[in-house]
Amino acid sequence: MGAAIDLPAELTAFLDRPTPQSLIIRGAPGTGKSLLALAILEAFSGPRIYVSSRVPRSRLEFDIPRLGRLAEAGQLSIVDMTAGGTDLRTASRSLESARELVEPEAPTDGLRSLLLPPEVLEAWSQASPSAPTLIVLDSWDAIVERHVDVTNNAHDALPSREELERVALAQMAQAPIFLVMVIEHADAGQLEYLTDGVVAVIREIREDRTERWLHIEKLRGTRIAHSSYPFSLEGGRFQSIAPLGMRPRPATPPIDRQPSPSPGQIWPGSSDYASFFGRLPIGKLTLLELDPEVPNSAVAMMVAPLLNQVVAGGGRVLHIPPPGMQPTEIWKLYQGQTSKEDFLRQVRLLCPLPGIEP
């Protein structure tokens, strides 16, 4: 059992670290890398820049409306590099020309940044020189594939992908930038050793059911309490599942309004419950089987909305709790949602207590 959250606590803490910082999101196609990057982007409080190399801006804003709303509100800059750009060979020639304009003994580290794709340089130019800025490169693989001239031969003095990656990270370190690089393969490389953080997303099929997992491989300076989180992409939004106990549980979960009446069924008071288990058919037994290790607090989170929903609708509830559970614990399932008068009138308990008749 767990509670749905947008980002794992470890990633949220990592976002609060002083810049510059760099993070890799790695995974095979279709595993949820872009939606995770978007969740990180939405959680960031400063200026944000999204560089798209695979999907045009118009398609992005159509598929992910909240991305367009952020851009319209001036809270996000989208750099669209799907139309093409300067290749590495042209950039290298420009760099050689630029070197002729400076003194021979002048440092050239800054000039090497000209080897980077122009759209990446544009994102760098938009970054604030003082306020921490988040830049998402989605994806770095596509950026490199487009920029590097794959036809170069051994006689060309063009930098390799590894050298370009070192140039990009060195350039990032010159400003308060939080860099997120989306990688489209599952294998680790040099980049994983150079960056401050690495997370991997995977998708598995088990018993005809899709499972998605986020694995935290490295976050420098951040304590990793849980290295793996299941997550969902329901509704086009990244949501991870945090184990109960990591976050304080409210006394009584709120009741979700019934979207539409369904004759012969009871609305469970929770949209999450309804999506996973459906509604409760009247006249039939609904059995939920839980692992013995699941704590009572987890059960409470699942059934409290249902119990309060029944009482609010004028129904009755009979509790037969496990041994050791006190009536006061049952009252906590209703407290804040149901009045004490309604509880005493519509709820009955069958609790064998020590020294008291059942």
**Shared-domain flag, residues 302 and 340:** yes
Report CA Rg, the chain: 27
Q: Domain ends where: 211, 243, 275?
A: 243
The SS3 of residue 136 is strand
Q: For residue 110, is it within any domain?
A: yes
pLDDT band at 114 (very low <50, low <70, confident <90, very high): low
Say whether both 20 and 66 belong to one domain: yes
* Whether residue 60 is found in the same domain as residue 29: yes
CATH of the domain at 30: 3.40.50.300
| pLDDT exceeds cutoff 80 at 252 | no
In a domain, 322, yes or no: yes
- Give the global pTM: 0.61
- Distance (Å, rounded) from C-alpha 129 to C-alpha 293? 51
**What pLDDT score was predicted for residue 94?**
41
Q: For a pLDDT cut of 70, what percent of the chain falls above it?
A: 77
Question: Would you say residue 60 lies in a domain?
Answer: yes
pLDDT tens per residue across span 299-315: 777 888 999 989 998 99
Q: Please identify, among 243, 273, 306, the residue that sits at the C-terminal boundary of a domain.
A: 243
Q: Is residue 331 located within the same domain as residue 238?
A: no
For the cut 70, the answer to whether the pLDDT of residue 25 exceeds it is yes
- The answer as to whether 258 is a domain residue is no
Query: pLDDT at position 241, please?
Result: 81
| Residue 220 shares a structural domain with residue 294 | no
pLDDT in tens, 199-223: 999 988 877 778 889 999 999 989 8
Containing 40, the helix (H) or strand (E) segment is: helix 33-43
Q: At 1, is the pLDDT very low, low, confident or very high (cuts 50, 70, 90)?
A: very low
Give domain status of residue 71, yes or no.
Answer: yes
Q: Choose from 60-64, 126-130, 283-287, 351-355 the range with maximum mean pLDDT.
A: 283-287
**Looking at the 3D structure of the chain, how many domains does it have?**
2
Residue 112 has pLDDT above 80, yes or no: no
CA distance 21 to 15: 9
226 and 281 together in one domain:
no
The mean of the pLDDT values for the chain is: 78
Segment among 155-159, 222-226, 238-242, 345-349 with least mean pLDDT:
155-159
Phi, psi at 26, each rounded to 5°:
-120, 140
Pair 306, 268: CB distance under 8 Å: yes
